[in-house]
Amino acid sequence: MTTWTWFRHRSTASPPLGGDTAAVLRSSPVLLLAGPPADVMVNRLLRTWNPRAQVGGGADGTLGSCAIADGVRWVGPFRLGAVGAAEAGLPLGWSTAYAAQAERRRMRVPDGLAAAEVRERYPDGIPVGAEAVAWSLVTGLARRLDGAARLPAGDRRPRNAGSVVAQRPELRQNTYCVYGNQALPWSVLCSLLALSLPGLDLNGALADNDYCLDRTDTFEVRVEPFREGDFLPYALRPRATEGWPCTVYRFRCLSRATRTGAAHADLQLRGAPHADLQLRADVQLRAAALELADVVGGALLDGEGFPVITELARQRR
Condensed to tens digits (0 to 9), the pLDDT of residues 152-180 reads 876 544 554 445 578 888 877 789 999 99
Given a cut of 80, whether residue 8 has pLDDT beyond it is no
**What is the pLDDT confidence band of residue 113, given thresholds at 50, 70 and 90?**
low
Q: Do both 175 and 159 map to the same domain?
A: no
Boundary (domain end) residue, out of 105, 140, 163: 163
Given a cut of 90, whether residue 96 has pLDDT beyond it is yes
- Lowest model confidence (mean pLDDT) among 89-98, 136-145, 146-155, 283-292: 146-155
The pLDDT of residue 38 is 87
User: Does 310 reside within a domain?
Assistant: yes
Overall average pLDDT of the 271-285 stretch: 73
- Cβ pair 74, 7 in contact under 8 A: no
**What is the pLDDT confidence band of residue 32, given thresholds at 50, 70 and 90?**
very high
The segment with the largest mean pLDDT, out of 110-114, 151-155, 233-237, is 233-237
Q: Do both 203 and 271 map to the same domain?
A: yes
The pLDDT of residue 285 is 92
Given a cut of 90, whether residue 183 has pLDDT beyond it is yes
Boundary (domain end) residue, out of 163, 182, 203: 163
Overall average pLDDT of the 178-191 stretch: 96
Q: What is the pLDDT of residues 188-204, one digit of tens each?
A: 999 999 999 999 999 98
Overall average pLDDT of the 108-115 stretch: 76
Q: Do both 131 and 178 map to the same domain?
A: no
The pLDDT of residue 5 is 34
The pLDDT of residue 60 is 59
Separation CA 23–CA 12 (nearest Å): 19
* Domains of the chain: total: 2
**What is the pLDDT confidence band of residue 280, given thresholds at 50, 70 and 90?**
confident
**Average model confidence (pLDDT) across the chain:** 82
Q: Name the phi and psi angles at 209, rounded to 5.
A: -110, 20
- Lowest model confidence (mean pLDDT) among 3-12, 107-116, 130-139: 3-12
Name the residue range of residue 106's domain: 6-163
Boundary (domain end) residue, out of 163, 179, 207: 163
Q: Do both 36 and 102 map to the same domain?
A: yes
